[in-house]
Amino acid sequence: MMIEIERKFLVTSEAFKKEAFSEKRIKQGYLSSVPERTVRVRTKGDRGFLTIKGASNESGLSRFEWEKEITVEEAENLLLLCEKGTIDKTRFEVKVHGHVYEIDVFYGENKGLIMAEIELLSETQAFEKPSWLGQEVTGDKRYYNSYLSCNPYIHW
Amino acid sequence: MMIEIERKFLVTSEAFKKEAFSEKRIKQGYLSSVPERTVRVRTKGDRGFLTIKGASNESGLSRFEWEKEITVEEAENLLLLCEKGTIDKTRFEVKVHGHVYEIDVFYGENKGLIMAEIELLSETQAFEKPSWLGQEVTGDKRYYNSYLSCNPYIHW
């Protein structure tokens, strides 16, 4: 088993865009945001997904998760039913010094927010920071998508 | 467009069982029972279904509905996440004088309840009542599955 270590940062400029090797629009909403049974609808580029998650177990490490690919048209119709607070963003992927960054540029009520995530092998693994990487926000719950959904960035 | 007219009745004996041409166990639960976005999980015999419905429109005649067949194992796993009040019943189909009755025999907290539904072409279409057909309960909200889920029959 591999434990994923992810660190999350704010991004201070859009200079990363010219280095991106992938770019996909993501829209997501929740049919249920109750933590014991979340039901998430997502479009990612021209694909659609329905994801159902249960509560975390006591240690917080595992959580039942079921995902089904659906058509983008189905996902778009289901997004119309979702709770208020749909997330709309573009995800860029950028490779810097051998590491892939996933960078989310938010729109709508979260406009102005740009976040990057990098996956590392350990909490202490060193990596060279690109010039556009800003303050670290790893573990800060305000930057979770589920929090942004109810408390959009423009109201902070 | 065809408008379905369904009439619902209590059933007073199990005599219909010997005439049944189909018999399927149904278990169903809700990941969301909010009327604007219900998410229902169902196993029916050896098949599984996930059904998402939106709010009714103003006239009450139409409602967005999306259904996906999933494996029975997936459905059983998702049933474990559902809100309290899973419905467990056997659905029998019986043909009487050219009409098909769907008859639900409930178990668990709704034990003792047996209901039959018949689909007709108009509200006034005549049909011959079999001996086991009891009181009509068409339109009585207490007999909706969603109501039974929260207010099981044994507590009435």
**Residue A146's CATH number:** 2.40.320.10
- Residue identified by tokens 């009450």 is B60
ipTM above 0.90, yes or no: no
Which residue in chain B has the smallest CA separation from A52?
B78
Count of domains forming chain A: 1
For residue B36, give Cα distances in angstroms to A31, B52, B141. Answer: 9, 10, 18
* A56-70, B28-42, B45-59, B65-79: least confidently modelled range: A56-70
A123 within 8 A of A5, measured Cβ to Cβ: yes
Q: Which residue of B has its CA nearest to A70?
A: B68
> Is any Cβ of chain B less than 8 angstroms from the Cβ of A84?
no
Q: Number of Cβ pairs closer than 8 Å across A and B?
A: 51
Spell out which residues of chain B touch residue A66, defining contact as CB-CB under 8 Å. 74, 77-78
Q: Give the E-state strand segments of chain A in sequence order.
A: 5-11, 20-32, 37-44, 47-56, 63-70, 87-96, 99-106, 114-120, 133-136
Q: Does A10 touch chain B (CB under 8 A)?
A: no
Q: How far apart are CA A138 and CA B59, in angstroms?
A: 49
Query: Do the Cβ atoms of B70 and A74 come within 8 Å?
Result: no
Tell me which residue range forms the domain holding A142: 3-155
Per-residue pLDDT, averaged over A85-100, amounts to 94
Q: pLDDT at position A1, please?
A: 43
pLDDT tens digits along A30-83: 999 888 899 999 999 999 999 998 886 666 556 788 999 999 999 999 999 999
Closest to A91 (Cα-Cα) out of A112, A105, A101:
A105
Which CB contacts under 8 angstroms, 24+ apart, belong to B69-72?
B70/A68, B72/B43, B72/B46, B72/B47, B72/B48
Asked about B30 being catalytic, the answer comes back as: yes
Compute the average pLDDT of residues B64-70.
Answer: 93
What is each CA distance from A35 to B32, B57, B83, in whole angstroms?
12, 29, 12
Residue A126, by phi and psi: left (phi above 0), alpha (psi -120 to 50) or beta? Answer: beta
| B74, closest residue in chain A (CA to CA) | A66
